[in-house]
């Protein structure tokens, strides 16, 4: 309860209704006066680049608090492959319950504390549409091949799902839309940025071009075969 009050107060300080408090009668006009008094300062602060950056950071932190507050556990992609966030990777109870033996961290920050307890790999990637994540696909796939592994980034929304999709596409020969739907059904909030999706699409074409298609010509000529009889 206390965590939610802290987050709610962060969204709008001076908004007692968010905290469950009743606004006294007659205070509405006072609130309007206070708002009109502070309005020039707020407008001035919003034009300051440092203030803008601070406001963005505070908003991001508030969203992250809410996200972590209502987040469940890691999701099973395959019996040996789990997808989650940095929050999940930091919780020993999650890892112990799932019998995780390896961690693949695809984020900006490395967690050195895990290196002594788990087989650990860190692939530093920014969650940016200009970041190159496809160059790490093969090393990630090779690492996933051993042990029971949790793949995570910071929020488990963009980078780590991208790695899991690449793994499914390579090892299970799934198309991008099939891999995306498969993971989306298990972790509904995934949303790889469009740069990552473009790289996955390119990866799909590379996989398909290297996969021998024997059955297709046979199926193509079956109708002609039956027409001869």
User: 185-214 pLDDT, tens per residue?
Assistant: 999 999 999 999 999 999 999 998 876 654
DSSP letter string, 95-118: HHHTT--EEEE-SS---GGGTTTS
**CATH 3.90.190.10 segments of the chain:** 75-210
Annotated catalytic residue within 92, 153, 164, 228:
153
Residue bearing the bigger pLDDT, 22 or 166: 166
**Catalytic residue status for 153:** yes
pTM: 0.63
Beta-carbon contacts of residue 165 (< 8 Å; ≥ 6 apart): 176, 179, 180, 183, 192, 200
The structure tokens 């929304």 sit at 157
Q: What percent of the chain clears pLDDT 70, i.e. is strictly above it?
A: 59
The CATH class of 75-210 is alpha beta
């Amino acid at each position: 309860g206390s965590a939610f009050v802290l987050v709610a107060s962060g969204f709008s300080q001076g908004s007692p209704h968010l905290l469950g408090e009743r606004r006294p009668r007659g205070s509405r006009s006072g609130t309007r006066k206070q708002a009109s008094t502070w309005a020039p300062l707020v407008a001035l602060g919003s034009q300051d680049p440092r203030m803008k950056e601070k406001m963005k950071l505070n908003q991001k932190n508030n969203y992250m608090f809410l996200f972590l507050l209502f987040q469940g556990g890691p999701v099973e992609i395959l019996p040996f492959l789990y997808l989650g966030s940095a929050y999940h990777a930091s919780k020993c109870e999650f890892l112990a319950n799932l019998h995780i033996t390896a961690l693949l961290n695809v984020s900006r920050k490395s967690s050195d504390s895990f290196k002594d307890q788990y087989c650990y790999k860190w692939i530093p990637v920014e969650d940016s549409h200009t970041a190159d994540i496809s160059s790490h696909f093969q090393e990630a796939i090779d690492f996933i091949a051993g042990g029971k592994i949790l793949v995570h980034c910071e929020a488990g929304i963009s980078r780590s799902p991208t790695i899991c999709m690449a793994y499914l596409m390579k090892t299970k020969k799934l198309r991008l839309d099939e891999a995306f739907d498969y993971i989306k059904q298990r972790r509904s909030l995934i949303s790889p940025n469009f740069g990552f999706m473009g790289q996955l699409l390119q990866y799909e074409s590379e996989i398909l071009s290297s996969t021998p298609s024997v059955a297709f010509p046979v199926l193509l000529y079956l109708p002609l075969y039956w027409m001869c009889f």
